[in-house]
């Protein structure tokens, strides 16, 4: 999709469609009013006759409206003007994309950017529009023979800005939005790819290819023999039961003016299929465990967007990639392994594998002398029970980092919610035979998982995002959401801006 910005009156746009909002009840937005005046009341007449109330979700498509240069005008109901919020704004934009794509309007001039939203400026609206449009049109059909493409797909959206003065801001928002959605798309494609194709080796290849695509981007892949040398006994214990060999994927983007500037390190759980191992999962919806690499997918998405924008910052990605399978060599409940840090771990449940691969990746991350480390993982079903599918669980040992992530989540709409990691919870991880147990019982399962990780992150500022509830949707609309790429990108963009102002 091609996105751009333009200032100018809607009736003067030579486009296949102009999109404007109408509020409940029958209140025209500014651009709808302009089009109504130009067409001598055509729109208000239709509305008076009951064609459109302005309720959220309503639409009305008009053709050949007099005194305009466009083929069509799409009126979209926006609900009560005062009740317009971030979610509704996205819904209205998604609906626009759906209708245009179905109706063969290949290009649009969107005046939805004028809709009034508290504390949200034009750049935010443009970025959110881009995300909502692409979210609506995304399909994962690489593996389908019949692609069911729209005959005349939407190709181009031009966002209206109120004056020429807003053009530079708008153009930057388009650049950022486009980079973010290509990151989201990469993340979704990797996540939706089935486990027989998207293996640890496949992820490693993806990382290599990003290294070839972008400037200031290096990729390094550590093989199992190197993990052996590094004594990553926890990570290796998970991959022992799999025919696919584990990879530790390192991507380094060096965009800061100084190579010595401490990096942000992003660690992503990359379990390309989680069967549970010997503690085998039940069969229902087990296919969805191909999504157990969504942490890694999110890190891939963020890395590609950061590199696409060539942001002035240093970022390192560390992705432990492996399958978790049952096998004669697989870990058994009761096995004790030694992590890279030297801490011994009793594996009481082989299905709590995420923390085993992450603990070694987190210990390894120390070597980058990080400013902060953020790990992203589909870590616990318990997090889904606690928070549902709306926010990611946020844990950490450094309040400024936690606040930065909470704020980035609120602003981007890709929210997270802070959970405690108090020392009291550590008792649940006691083992009779090793330093730590890998499970903490039924209570507070997402917290005990985070507290397990906290034992390996004491030397730096750390946050953990449990994305088990937000990374994909099940059921009829099964598919990856691309989260938390928007959150990570907002965090990174805020950091870059913060650095620039000092």
Q: Site residues (CB under 6 A) for ligand BES?
A: 274, 292, 349, 351-354, 378, 380-382, 384, 439, 445, 468
Give, for 23, the enclosing helix (H) or strand (E). strand 17-24
Interface with Mn ion, residue 375, by CB under 5 A: no
Q: Which does 468 bind (CB under 5 to 8 A by kind): Zn ion, Mn ion, ligand BES, none?
A: ligand BES
* Residue 23, φ and ψ in degrees, nearest 5: -90, 160
The stretch near Mn ion (CB under 5 A) out of 25-33, 82-90, 259-267, 274-282 is: 274-282
Nearer to ligand BES, 131 or 292 (CB): 292
CA-CA distance, 123 to 177, in Å (whole number)? 9
The interface region with Mn ion, picked from 68-76, 271-279, 308-316, 461-469 by CB under 5 A, is: 271-279
- 139's tokens: 């399909």
Residue 383 CB, nearest approach to Mn ion (Å): 13
- Residue 264: which of 164, 354, 160, 398 has the closest Cα? 398
CB of 354 to Mn ion, least distance (A): 6
Report the candidate in 384, 327, 350 with the shortest Cα–Cα distance to residue 281: 350
Contact assessment for residue 247 and residue 235, using Cβ atoms and an 8 Å cutoff: no
Helix axes 167-192, 122-137, angle to 10 degrees: 30
Nearer to ligand BES by Cβ, of 73 and 384: the residue is 384
Partner whose footprint covers residue 445, from Mn ion, ligand BES, Zn ion, none (CB < 5 to 8 Å by kind)? ligand BES
> Measured from the CB of residue 381, what is the shortest distance to Zn ion in angstroms?
9
**DSSP-derived 3-state class of residue 130:** helix
CA distance 269 to 471: 12
Contact 242, 251 (CB under 8 A): no
Please provide residue 56's backbone torsions phi and psi, each rounded to the nearest 5 degrees.
-60, 130
- Answer with the entry of Mn ion, Zn ion, ligand BES, none that 414 interacts with (C-beta below 5 to 8 A by kind): none
- By beta-carbon proximity to ligand BES, the closer residue of 219 and 378 is 378
* Beta carbon nearer to ligand BES, 62 or 392: 392
Catalytic sites, residue numbers: 281, 355
15 cis-preceded (ω within 30 degrees of 0) = no
For Zn ion, give the closer residue by CB, 292 or 375.
292
When CB distances to Mn ion are compared, the closest residue is 351
Nearer to ligand BES, 291 or 411 (CB): 291
- 349 interface partner picked from ligand BES, Mn ion, Zn ion, none, CB below 5 to 8 A per type: ligand BES
Tokens of residue 208, six digits: 């290599």
Options 51-59, 90-98, 175-183, 268-276: segment touching Mn ion (CB under 5 A): 268-276
139 or 332, CB closer to Zn ion?
A: 332
Residue count, binding to Mn ion (CB under 5 A) = 3
Residues 324-363 within binding reach of Mn ion (CB under 5 A): 351, 353
Could you give the count of Cα atoms lying within 13 Å of 202 in the half-sphere of its Cβ? 19
Minimum CB distance to Zn ion smaller for 69 or for 280? 280
Shortest spacing between CB 133 and ligand BES, in angstroms:
28
> Which among 419, 418, 412, 391 has a CA at the least distance from the CA of 491?
412
Structure tokens at 33: 């009013």
Shortest CB 283 distance to ligand BES, Å: 13
State the Cα–Cα distance between residues 86 and 98, nearest whole angstrom.
19
SS (H, E, C) 354-396: HHHHHHHHHHHHHHHCCCEEEEEECCCHHHHHHHCCCCEEEEE
How many CB atoms lie under 10 A from the CB of residue 343?
Answer: 17
Angle at 65 between CA 62 and CA 66, to 5 degrees: 170
Minimum separation from the CB atom of position 295 to Mn ion (A): 13
CA atoms within 13 A on the CB side of 402: 13
Least separation in angstroms between residue 350's CB and Zn ion is: 10
> What, of Zn ion, Mn ion, ligand BES, none, does residue 382 touch, CB below 5 to 8 Å by kind?
ligand BES
Contact 375, 268 (CB under 8 A): yes
Q: Least distance from C-beta 235 to ligand BES, angstroms?
A: 14
- For Mn ion, which is the closer residue by CB, 18 or 294? 294
| Residue 118 to residue 84: CA distance in whole angstroms | 9
439: partner contacted, choices ligand BES, Mn ion, Zn ion, none (Cβ within 5-8 A by kind): ligand BES
Q: Which stretch in 219-227, 272-280, 404-412, 463-471 sits in contact with Mn ion by CB under 5 A?
A: 272-280
Interface residues toward Zn ion, by CB under 5 A? 271, 274, 292, 354
Segment near Mn ion (CB under 5 A); pick from 66-74, 191-199, 247-255, 273-281? 273-281
Helix or strand holding residue 74 (H, E): strand 72-80
- Least distance from C-beta 480 to ligand BES, angstroms? 13
- List the single partner that 311 binds among Zn ion, ligand BES, Mn ion, none, CB under 5 to 8 Å by kind: none
Cα–Cα dist 451/439, whole Å: 10
Which of residues 24, 36, 274, 404 is near Mn ion by CB under 5 A?
274
């Amino acid at each position: 999709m091609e996105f751009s910005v333009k200032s100018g009156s809607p009736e003067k746009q030579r486009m296949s469609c102009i999109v404007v909002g109408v509020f409940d009840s029958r209140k025209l937005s500014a651009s709808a009013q302009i089009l109504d005046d130009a067409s001598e009341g055509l729109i208000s007449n239709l509305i008076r006759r009951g064609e459109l109330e302005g309720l959220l979700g309503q639409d009305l498509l008009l053709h050949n409206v007099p005194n305009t240069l466009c083929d069509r005008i799409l009126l979209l109901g926006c609900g009560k003007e005062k009740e317009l919020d971030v979610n509704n704004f996205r819904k209205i934009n998604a609906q626009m994309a759906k209708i245009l794509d179905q109706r063969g309007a290949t290009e649009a001039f969107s005046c939805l950017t004028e809709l009034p939203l508290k504390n949200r400026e034009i750049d935010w609206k443009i970025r959110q529009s881009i995300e909502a449009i692409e979210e609506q049109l995304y399909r994962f059909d690489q593996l389908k023979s019949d692609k069911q493409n729209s005959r005349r797909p939407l190709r181009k959206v031009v966002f209206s800005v109120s004056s020429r003065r807003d053009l530079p801001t708008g153009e930057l928002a388009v650049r950022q939005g486009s980079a973010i959605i290509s990151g989201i798309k990469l993340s979704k494609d990797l996540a939706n790819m089935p486990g027989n194709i998207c293996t640890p080796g496949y992820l490693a290849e993806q990382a290599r290819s990003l290294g070839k695509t972008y400037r200031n981007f290096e990729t390094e892949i550590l093989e199992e023999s190197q993990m052996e040398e590094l004594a990553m006994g926890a990570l290796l214990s998970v991959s022992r039961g799999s025919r696919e060999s584990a990879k530790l994927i390192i991507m380094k983007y060096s965009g800061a003016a100084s190579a010595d500037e401490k990096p942000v390190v992003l660690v992503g759980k990359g379990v390309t299929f989680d069967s549970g191992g010997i503690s085998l999962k039940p069969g229902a919806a087990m296919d969805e465990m191909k999504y157990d690499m969504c942490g890694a997918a999110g890190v891939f998405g963020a890395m590609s967007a950061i590199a696409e924008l060539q942001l002035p910052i240093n970022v390192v990605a560390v992705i432990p990639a492996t399958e978790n399978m049952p096998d004669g060599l697989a870990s058994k409940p009761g096995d004790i392994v030694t992590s890279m840090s030297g801490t011994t771990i009793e594996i009481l449940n082989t299905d709590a594998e995420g923390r085993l691969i992450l603990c070694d990746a987190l210990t390894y991350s120390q070597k980058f002398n990080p400013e902060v480390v953020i790990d992203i993982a589909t870590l616990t079903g318990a997090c889904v029970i606690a928070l549902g599918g709306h926010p990611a669980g946020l844990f950490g040992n450094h309040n400024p980092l936690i606040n930065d992530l909470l704020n980035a989540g609120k602003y981007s709409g890709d929210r997270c919610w802070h959970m405690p990691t108090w020392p009291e919870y550590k008792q649940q991880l006691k083992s009779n035979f090793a330093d730590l147990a890998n499970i903490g019982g039924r209570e507070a399962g997402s917290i005990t998982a985070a507290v397990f990780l906290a034992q390996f992150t004491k030397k730096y500022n750390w946050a953990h995002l449990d994305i088990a509830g937000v990374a994909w949707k099940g059921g009829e609309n099964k598919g990856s959401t691309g989260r938390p790429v928007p959150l990570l990108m907002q965090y990174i963009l805020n950091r870059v801006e913060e650095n620039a102002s000092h």
